[in-house]
Structure 1
């Protein structure tokens, strides 16, 4: 139980860092940690007519980031994004699924349009 709480805390720190980074890049954060029947979206952000559903992964080492995201996880995020799209999107908006990877001592890595399903 303690490990789970620690992982949760570490995840929140990563999401906060990702949200600040996105804001610095001109994005507006619409929501954080939105749960759906299909899964959870860490961040939902808007920049102009684009809404990004963002999966954030924070790991202890850069090497661990190589295995932090896989097709199954991205499919879950994409399904949740489809579910939430009508709530956060306006007519004419585009949407995409992004991934932000964070590890100490490494530059934050933003993978745009990570899901092409």
Structure 2
């Protein structure tokens, strides 16, 4: 299997695990792999009154950084604005940009999940 196809498959698997993790921690999934003109958002979730735009990264080693580049963050921010506009989210809704990083199990069957809340902010 080509590296790109394998990476895509691992990414989709990581997104599935991230959605399970988010549901188990009290989040409601609003959208998965949402695509707009500005770009794609891996997961849009809601917890209480906070809308959470999640970028999911699969990393072979838990210590690898998964923070998106400045260009990727701008794209995600523009996509979040487009999502909010299309979904008619209230202007008073609080937004947050999280990173969920998934790594292969080190022992047994435990998949390390690293959830960085408020991983970055969008410029106003």
Report the TM-score when normalising by structure 2.
Answer: 0.82
Which runs of no fewer than 5 residues in structure 1 stay unpaired?
Answer: none
- Write out aligned runs for 1:33-44 (5 A): 33-44=33-44
Runs of 4+ in structure 1 over 6 Å off: none
The Cα of 1:67 is off from its aligned counterpart by: 5.2
For residues 92-107 of structure 1, the aligned pairs below 5 Å read: 92-104=92-104, 105=106, 107=112
2:37/2:79 contact within 8 Å kept:
yes
Give yes or no for contact 2:14–2:56 (8 Å, CA) kept in 1.
yes
Residue 46 to residue 2, structure 1, CA distance change in 2 (3 Å): same
RMSD: 1.9
Q: Aligned residue for 1:77?
A: 76
Q: Quick check: which one's helix share is greater?
A: 1
Q: How many residues are aligned here?
A: 116
1:92 aligns to what SS in structure 2?
A: coil
What residue is the counterpart of 2:119 in the other structure? 114
TM-score norm. by structure 1 comes to 0.87
